[in-house]
Amino acid sequence: MKILVCISQVPDTSTKAVLRDNNTAVESNGVTYIINPYDEWYGLIRAIELKETGIAGEIDLVTVGKANTEPVIRKALALGGDKAIRIDADSNDPYLTAVYIADYAKSENYDLILCGKESIDYNNGTVGSMLAELLDMDYIGFATEIKTEGNTAIVKREIEGGEETDTCNFPLVISCQKGVAEARIPNMRGIMAARTRPLNVITPAAIEPVTSILSYELPPAKAGVKLVDPADMDQLVELLHTEAKVI
């Protein structure tokens, strides 16, 4: 089985967002970037587990981004990827991202394409399904467990109010979330090997995006804490009723 894992670069969750250019862009200077956790902890690690059990052979990694994304995809190589591909483009349009990856993947004959259910920066959650449509593959989203039997995937996924189990033949695109695999950290051997492993850079065809971001807006500042004397239950009840509106 040949697997492709989609890797996206996102800001670390501890990073404080700073807006610039009249709130039309996010300042990137000083931002720490990481692999999107849904891509790393679940998509990539499950692919590695399938390889370790002899089910999968080659694991390729693909990301859409400029040269500043290379440290992130090399970390993915250190975890256990075999080959890395960087599609040299910078876009926050999920359709454009899906088109770029699909154009590359069409000639590679992948049996399974894994990605996270969404990226933690834009939270679109649409690249996996669009990628499947562009490649004419079946798609299963929000997977919490992936098993295989011969040429069939058995996938448990989260649905409204519960879970369902689906079966589908390969080739297949699956988006992953918590439960698919256990997170790992790269070991020193993997880190050293990833430094010298080649990273293939592809220039994509010029395609017009279908969406654009007009502006960003920071969430409102948190309100201050109001302290209540524990002996004054009447005031507490009044505040819960008139301000918090929970009773």
Going by pLDDT thresholds of 50, 70 and 90, the confidence category of residue 218 is confident
The predicted structure's pLDDT at residue 225: 84
| Nearest alpha carbon to residue 176 among 7, 2, 34, 1 | 7
In a domain, residue 226? The reply is no
In a domain, residue 191? The reply is yes
In a domain, residue 194? The reply is yes
Check whether 223 has a pLDDT greater than 80: no
Going by pLDDT thresholds of 50, 70 and 90, the confidence category of residue 15 is confident
Token pair for 144: 């919490």
E-assigned strand segments in 23-76: 25-26, 33-35, 59-64
In a domain, residue 246? The reply is no
Taking the C-alpha atoms of residue 96 and residue 123, their distance in angstroms, rounded to an integer, is 15
Range of the domain at 46: 3-221
Question: Residue 95, exposed/middle/buried by CB under 10 A (0-12, 13-18, 19+)?
Answer: middle
The predicted structure's pLDDT at residue 88: 97
In a domain, residue 245? The reply is no
Taking the C-alpha atoms of residue 213 and residue 24, their distance in angstroms, rounded to an integer, is 7
The predicted structure's pLDDT at residue 222: 79
Please state, for a pLDDT cut of 70, what percent of the chain lies above it.
100
Check whether 138 has a pLDDT greater than 90: yes
**Residue 116 belongs to domain with CATH number:** 3.40.50.620
In a domain, residue 237? The reply is no
Number of folded domains that form the chain:
1
Taking the C-alpha atoms of residue 10 and residue 73, their distance in angstroms, rounded to an integer, is 12
Taking the C-alpha atoms of residue 175 and residue 65, their distance in angstroms, rounded to an integer, is 20
In a domain, residue 68? The reply is yes
Average pLDDT over residues 21-46: 93
Please state, for a pLDDT cut of 90, what percent of the chain lies above it.
70
In a domain, residue 104? The reply is yes
Check whether 194 has a pLDDT greater than 90: no
